[in-house]
A and B are shown apart, each in its own frame.
Chain A
Amino acid sequence: MTHVAVIDYGMGNLHSVAKALEHVGKRAGLPLEISVTADAAVLTAADRLVFPGVGAMRDCMAEIRRLCIDEILREQVRKKPVLAICVGMQALMQHSEENGGVDCIGLFAGRVRRFDDRMLDASGAVLKVPHMGWNRVRQTQAHAMWKNIPDNDHFYFVHSYYVAPDAPAEIAGEADYARPFAAAITHKNVFAVQFHPEKSQRNGLQLLENFLTWNGSP
Chain B
Amino acid sequence: MSLAKRIIPCLDCDNGRVVKGVKFLDIRDAGDPVEIAKRYCDQGADEITFLDITASSQERSTTIHTVEAIASQVFIPLTVGGGIRKLQDIRNMLNAGADKVGINTSAVLNPGFVREAADRFGSQCIVVAIDAKRVSKPGEPLRWEIFTHGGRNPTGLDAVAWAKKMVSYGAGEILLTSMDRDGTKSGFDLELNLAISEAVSVPVIASGGVGNLQDLVDGIVKGKADAVLAASIFHFGEYTIPQAKQFMRERGVEMR
Residues of A within 8 A of B (CB): 12-13, 15-16, 19-20, 22-23, 54-56, 117, 121-123, 125-136, 154, 156, 158-160, 175-177, 196, 198-201, 204-205
Contacts and interface: CB of A to CB of B under 8 A. Distances in A.
Given A55-B122, A158-B124, A201-B75, A135 B4 contact: yes
Nearest to A14: B95
B2 A199 contact: no
Q: Is the interface of A mostly helix, strand, loop or mixed?
A: mixed
B3 A12 contact: no
A12 B201 contact: no
Contact of B99 (A16, A122, A134, A160): A16
A145 B239 CA distance: 36
Contacts of B203: 128, 130, 132-133
Contacts of B94: 12-13
Interface string B1-19: 1111110000000000000
Interface residues of B, number: 35
B76 A199 contact: yes
B125 interface: yes
Contacts, number: 99
Contacts of A176: 2
B71 A130 contact: no
B187 interface: no
Given A54-B122, A130-B202, A16 B97 contact: yes
A132 B95 contact: no
A132 B124 contact: yes
Contacts of A132: 124, 172-173, 203, 226
Contact of B6 (A12, A127, A134, A204): A134
B96 interface: yes
B95 A13 contact: yes
Interface in B211-256: 224, 226-227, 256
A136 B76 contact: no
A121 B95 contact: no
B196 interface: no
B110 interface: no
A15 B41 contact: no
A160 B124 CA distance: 9
For the complex of A and B, list the 10 residue pairs with the smallest distance between their C-beta atoms, beginning with the closest.
A134-B256, A134-B4, A154-B256, A13-B94, A55-B122, A136-B2, A19-B72, A121-B1, A15-B97, A158-B124
B125 A54 contact: yes
Contact of A133 (B6, B99, B123): B6
B97 A13 contact: yes
A164 to B, nearest CB: 19
A54 B192 CA distance: 32
